[in-house]
C-alpha cells in the first residue's frame, strides 16, 4: 500500500496542471490548492449529509457518523497545519503581510475543530434518550464549519494563489507541494486519495492515471485504478476507461 501511495503522489503535482478544457490559450499555473480542496469539499459534504440524515436511535449509524466526522476533522486539522507550516511562510517570505487574513481564519477554524471534537465525543457517549439532541448539536456546528470552510478555501484559491503566482514560479510552488507530501503518513495519504479521486474532473483523473500507468509498476497502477473504481461514479468510471483505452 505504501508503494501505491508514493507512486500516486509522484503524479499528483502534474494532475493539477491537467486542464478541464483541451488546448487552453494560456497554460494553467500550478494550483497547490486545487486537488486537495476538491477532496476536502467532498469529504465535508459527505460527513455533513451523514450527520443530517442520522437516525440517532440506530447505534450503528451513530458509530458511523462519529467515525466519519472524526476522520474529517483530522483531515482538516492536518490540512491547516501543512498550510501554516509550508504555504504561509513562503508567501510571507516574498510578500510580507499577505497571509494575515488566512492565518486569523485558521485560528478560528482550529477552535471550531476543537469544539466539533467535543460534539463528536458527546454524541458517542450520549445515552439513547439524549442522542437526538447531541446529533442535532453536532449537525448545526458542522454545517457552520463547512460553510465557513468553503468560503475560506475560495479565498485561498483566488487571493492566496494570486500571491503565489506573482512571487513564485511553478517549479517553486511544486517544490512546496513536495515538501508537504513528504510529511504525510500512508494513512493520511490514503484518506486523501479516497476523497480526491472522485472529486477530480474527468480530465484531471485521466491525466493522473495515464501518467501513473506510464511511470509506475503495473501493480501500483492497478492498486490506484482499483481505488478509482471503488469511489468514482458510473459516468466518471466510464470516461476514465475510455480515456485510458484511447
Average pLDDT over residues 83-111: 98
In sequence order, what are the residues at sequence separation of 6 or more whose Cβ sits closer than 8 angstroms to the Cβ of residue 154?
Answer: none
pLDDT tier for residue 212 given thresholds of 50, 70 and 90: confident
- According to the model, what pLDDT value does residue 22 have? 46
Domains annotated on the chain, with CATH: 1-20+169-246 (no CATH), 32-168 (1.20.120)
DSSP secondary structure code for residue 28 in this structure: P
pLDDT reported for residue 20: 41
Which of these, 18, 8, 46, lies nearest to 189 by C-alpha position? Answer: 8
Q: Each residue of 105-156: pLDDT tens digit?
A: 999 999 999 999 999 999 999 999 999 999 999 999 999 999 999 999 999 9
**pLDDT value of position 155:** 98
> What is the rounded CA–CA span in Å between residue 241 and residue 160?
35
B/e letters for 189-228, b = 16+ CB within 10 Å, e = fewer, are: bbbbbbbbbbbbbbbbbbbbbbbbbeebeeebbebbbebb
* Angle, alpha carbons 140-153-81 (nearest 5°): 90
Q: Dump pLDDT digits (tens) for 32-54.
A: 999 999 999 999 999 999 999 99
User: How would you classify residue 26: left for phi > 0, otherwise alpha for psi between -120 and 50, otherwise beta?
Assistant: beta
Closest CA to 57 of 141, 139, 129: 129
Amino acid at each position: 500500500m505504501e508503494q501505491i501511495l508514493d507512486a500516486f503522489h509522484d503524479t499528483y503535482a502534474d494532475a493539477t496542471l491537467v486542464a478541464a478544457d483541451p488546448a487552453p490559450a494560456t497554460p494553467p499555473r500550478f494550483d497547490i490548492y486545487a486537488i486537495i480542496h476538491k477532496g476536502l469539499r467532498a469529504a465535508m459534504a459527505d460527513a455533513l449529509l451523514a450527520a443530517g440524515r442520522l437516525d440517532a436511535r440506530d447505534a450503528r449509524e451513530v458509530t458511523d457518523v462519529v467515525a466519519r466526522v472524526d476522520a474529517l476533522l483530522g483531515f482538516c486539522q492536518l490540512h491547516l497545519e501543512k498550510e501554516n507550516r509550508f504555504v504561509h511562510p513562503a508567501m510571507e517570505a516574498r510578500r510580507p503581510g499577505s497571509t494575515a487574513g488566512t492565518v486569523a481564519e485558521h485560528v478560528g477554524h482550529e477552535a471550531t475543530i476543537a469544539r466539533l471534537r467535543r460534539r463528536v465525543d458527546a454524541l458517542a457517549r450520549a445515552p439513547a434518550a439524549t442522542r437526538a439532541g447531541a446529533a442535532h448539536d453536532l449537525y448545526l456546528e458542522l454545517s457552520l464549519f463547512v460553510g465557513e470552510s468553503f468560503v475560506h478555501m475560495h479565498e485561498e484559491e483566488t487571493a492566496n494563489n494570486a500571491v503565489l503566482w506573482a512571487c513564485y514560479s511553478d517549479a517553486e510552488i511544486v517544490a512546496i507541494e513536495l515538501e508537504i507530501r513528504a510529511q504525510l503518513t500512508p494513512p493520511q495519504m490514503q484518506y486523501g486519495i479516497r476523497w480526491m479521486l472522485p472529486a477530480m474532473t474527468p480530465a484531471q483523473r485521466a491525466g493522473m492515471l495515464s501518467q501513473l500507468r506510464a511511470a509506475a509498476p503495473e501493480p501500483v497502477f492497478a492498486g490506484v485504478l482499483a481505488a478509482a473504481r471503488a469511489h468514482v461514479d458510473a459516468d466518471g468510471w466510464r470516461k476514465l476507461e475510455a480515456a485510458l483505452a484511447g
